[in-house]
Amino acid sequence: MPQSWPSLPLAQWQDTKDTLQLYTQIVGKIRMVLAPPEPQWAHVTLYVTSRGLTTSPMPYHGETFQIDFDFIAHKLIVNKSDGKVGSLNLEARSVARFYECVMSLLADLRISVHITPMPQEVPDPIAFTNDTTHSSYSAEYVHRFWHVLSLIDSTFKRHRAPFRGRHSPVHFFWGGFDLAYTRHTGKPASPPPNANFLYRTSMDVEEIYSGFWPGDARFPEPALACYVYPKPPDIERRVLRPSTAFWNAQLGLFIVRYEDIRTAQSPEDAILEFLSSSYEECASCAGWDRAVLG
């Protein structure tokens, strides 16, 4: 039987989503400190697994360790290359308490990492050490979110496979809380005027981004999205497939609602149609050499 794609209404798990985003930022910042820097912040991302999200192995004093979110057993697990393992339950606790527990767990495993305690890309940020506001954890909706991520991750990888140019893995950005895949021409680009440090060091090449995020205040429902940078003239006039895709002027990108995807006859085919048509239209409008890149 075809795989069932669960619903993910943001309003039903907004508090949990906001808390989980901050949990992933704490773990993601650990990877950011330890991993060798890569262009477009590729070294900071997490990756979807068959049980949740992972940092993948990180170097530490001649050894490696990785941190995994297990959204089936609802545990955070640290595995070291020397065989030591530590874990803590994922449950309703404040971000401040989660931060304390993660650092204590690492200390028990003889791992010492210092991270910047301020979250990124969230409204009204509170230092992890002081955040007693965010403390929600709905195991049901966290599992749903991971289930959706795993289905979309596999589909994105099908779209990614034939591209011959420089491109990113399919990875999860804990800042924007989005599953992302980006293609590049290899040519430099000027970052947006007055861009902050994050954008100055990420949007410095030509790119076509595809992603999925569960929604936020700007667009309060889960959706898939695509944009091309630098933005070519009249890109918003391009018509994408499926027919439910549209240009969102506020965000400056193409969107197709996840609800329209999951209720399609074949959600996987609908995603692939959106990804392929958005790439075709964006690459064509931006003058990419598709004979070389694919």
For residues 223 and 274, membership in a common domain is answered with yes
Residue 134 near residue 97 (C-beta atoms within 8 A): no
- In-domain check, residue 3: no
The token pair at 147 is 């289930």
| Global pTM value | 0.95
Number of structural domains (the chain) is 2
- In-domain check, residue 221: yes
pLDDT tens figures, 171-188: 999 999 999 999 999 898
For residues 47 and 126, membership in a common domain is answered with yes
For the chain, report the end-to-end CA distance as a whole number of angstroms. 33
For residues 100 and 153, membership in a common domain is answered with no
CA distance 17 to 136: 8
- In-domain check, residue 4: no
Domain boundary among 103, 130, 157: 130
Average pLDDT over the chain, rounded to an integer? 95
Residue 32 near residue 45 (C-beta atoms within 8 A): no
For residues 273 and 193, membership in a common domain is answered with yes
For residues 162 and 220, membership in a common domain is answered with yes
Q: Which of 229, 219, 220 is nearest to 199 (CA)?
A: 229
- In-domain check, residue 1: no
For residues 277 and 209, membership in a common domain is answered with yes
pLDDT tens figures, 199-235: 777 778 899 999 999 999 999 999 999 999 999 999 9
Residues in the chain: 294
- In-domain check, residue 5: no
Domain boundary among 62, 97, 130: 130
For residues 95 and 169, membership in a common domain is answered with no
For residues 109 and 153, membership in a common domain is answered with no
Query: Alpha carbon of 263 to those of 3, 35, 139, 153, 194: distances in Å?
Result: 12, 39, 24, 18, 41
The residue behind tokens 């400190």 is 33
Q: Identify the band that residue 198 occupies on the pLDDT scale cut at 50, 70 and 90.
A: confident
- In-domain check, residue 2: no
Domain boundary among 101, 130, 159: 130
List the domain range (segments joined by +) for residue 232.
139-293
pLDDT tens figures, 41-53: 899 999 999 999 9
Q: Identify the band that residue 1 occupies on the pLDDT scale cut at 50, 70 and 90.
A: very low
Higher local confidence (pLDDT), 40 or 111 = 111
For residues 20 and 159, membership in a common domain is answered with no
Residue 291 has a pLDDT of: 82
Higher local confidence (pLDDT), 248 or 198 = 248
Residue 127 has pLDDT above 70, yes or no: yes
For residues 147 and 276, membership in a common domain is answered with yes
For residues 47 and 185, membership in a common domain is answered with no
Residue 3 has a pLDDT of: 65
For residues 157 and 233, membership in a common domain is answered with yes
How confident is the model over 4-9, as a mean pLDDT?
Answer: 95
DSSP 244: T
